[in-house]
Structures are given as structure tokens and as C-alpha cells.
């Protein structure tokens, strides 16, 4: 039994039954399939995260976000007057995570690609685009660049899904995707 020393002293010479070998072979092959699926998706799939990222000083990043917001602001939204920014398609778009908001609100065009930059001014945050389900971790001091192409129009929420203190559950932002 499993709670006793093996009855056959030289247990590594015991024959292994066909059924066990069969299952091990299937399980191993399935592992290879799953491994290859990840590799294949990098070649043929359309949803892969870029490896592009930079170290960045949080203050410098905040300045860049503000510069972009000033340049492309089209209106304000909500009681607190968060700017809505409509950057040209194909451009670099900066989104700032900070306690406790996603800033600014972005207005993007459907079917156009944008280089979305993500970084935090303070703690870690979780970029979670809903209901699309794109989730990316946001670190202070690191700037990640993801090329994103909105494929449906409408208003999408950005919520924070990395715990960031007592106001975590109030941290929300928006992306409007418009037809053009």
C-alpha cells in the first residue's frame, strides 16, 4: 500500500501496464498541443500582447498624458469635468492610472489602430476593459505599449481590478468607440 514501503524492493524495474503508458502518452501529447497553440497564436492569432515596454519616471509620464489631453481634447464629461480626448488614428495614446481614476476619457474610432500607452502615477492598478474582457496589469515606473484596434463601437468601461487601497472600487474610466 501507499503507506508502506514498496513490496517489490527494486520497484523501478516493475513493468508498467499498457493503460498507464497509453494515458501518459496522451497527456504528454496534449501538453505539446497546448504549448504549440500559444506559439501558433503569435503567428496567426490577432490577440497578443506586445513585448514593448519602457522604464519611465511617473511624473514624466503624467506630463505626457496631460500634453496629449490638452492637444486632442474635444469636450468634458461628467460632473468633475474629465476631458474627453480624440487622438488621430494610428497615434500614440496615453492613459494614466492613478488613485482612483483612469484619466482621461478616450474617444477612439472603430477599426483604427492606436498605440495605447499604460502606466501608473502611484500604485499598481489593473486595466480591465469591460465587457470586452481585456485585462492588463499597470505598474508605476513601467510604460507598456499595446497596439489596440477597437472592433466594435459603443461605450466601454475601464475598471480597476488590482486592489489599490480604500477607493479601489470607485476607480473607473471610459473609452468611447465611434464609427467614422
Instruction: Considering only residues 20 through 59, tell me which ones interact with another protein, judged by CB under 8 A.
Output: 20, 23-24, 26-28, 30-32, 34-35, 37-39, 41-42, 45-51, 53-54
Smallest Cα–Cα separation from 48: which of 56, 37, 59? Answer: 37
Length of the chain (residues)? 180
DSSP-derived 3-state class of residue 122: coil
CB of 88 or CB of 165, closer to another protein: 165
* CA dist., res. 136 & res. 132, Å (int): 12
Least separation in angstroms between CB 63 and another protein: 19
Decide whether 90 or 165 has the Cβ nearer to another protein: 165
Site for another protein, residues 106 to 165, rule: CB under 8 A: 118, 122-124, 126, 128-144, 146-152, 157, 159-165
Cis peptide preceding 100, ω within 30 of 0: yes
Least Å distance, CB 179 to another protein, is 15
Identify which of residues 65 and 138 has a Cβ nearer to another protein in the complex: 138
- Shortest reach from residue 113's CB to another protein, in Å: 8
Q: How many residues bind another protein (CB under 8 A)?
A: 91
Q: For residues 45 and 63, give the distance between their C-alpha atoms in angstroms, rounded to a whole number.
A: 35
CB of 141 to another protein, least distance (A): 7
Alpha carbons 44 and 8: distance in angstroms, whole number: 51
* Inter-residue contact 127 to 136 (CB < 8 Å): yes
Residue from 64, 73, 112, 168 in contact with another protein (CB under 8 A): 168
Identify the CA nearest to 48 among candidates 166, 169, 134, 119.
Answer: 134
Least spacing, CB of residue 54 vs another protein, in Å: 8
Return the residues of window 60-89 that contact another protein according to CB under 8 A: 78-80, 82
In this structure, what is the dihedral angle of CA atoms 91, 96, 102, 106, given to the nearest 10 degrees? -10
Amino acid at each position: 500500500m501507499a503507506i508502506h514501503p514498496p513490496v517489490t524492493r527494486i520497484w523501478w524495474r516493475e513493468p508498467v501496464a499498457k493503460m498507464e503508458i497509453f494515458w501518459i502518452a496522451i497527456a504528454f501529447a496534449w501538453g505539446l498541443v497546448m504549448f504549440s497553440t500559444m506559439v501558433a497564436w503569435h503567428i496567426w492569432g490577432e490577440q497578443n500582447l506586445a513585448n514593448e515596454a519602457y522604464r519611465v519616471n511617473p511624473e514624466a509620464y503624467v506630463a505626457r498624458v496631460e500634453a496629449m489631453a490638452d492637444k486632442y481634447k474635444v469636450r468634458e464629461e461628467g460632473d468633475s469635468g474629465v476631458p474627453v480626448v480624440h487622438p488621430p488614428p494610428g497615434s500614440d495614446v496615453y492613459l494614466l492610472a492613478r488613485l482612483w481614476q483612469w484619466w482621461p476619457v478616450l474617444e477612439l474610432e472603430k477599426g483604427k489602430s492606436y498605440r495605447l500607452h499604460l502606466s501608473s502615477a502611484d500604485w499598481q492598478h489593473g486595466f480591465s476593459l469591460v465587457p470586452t474582457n481585456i485585462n492588463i496589469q499597470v505598474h508605476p515606473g513601467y510604460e507598456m505599449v499595446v497596439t489596440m484596434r477597437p472592433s466594435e463601437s459603443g461605450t466601454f468601461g475601464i475598471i480597476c481590478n488590482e486592489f489599490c487601497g480604500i477607493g479601489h472600487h470607485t476607480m473607473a474610466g471610459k473609452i468611447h468607440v465611434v464609427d467614422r
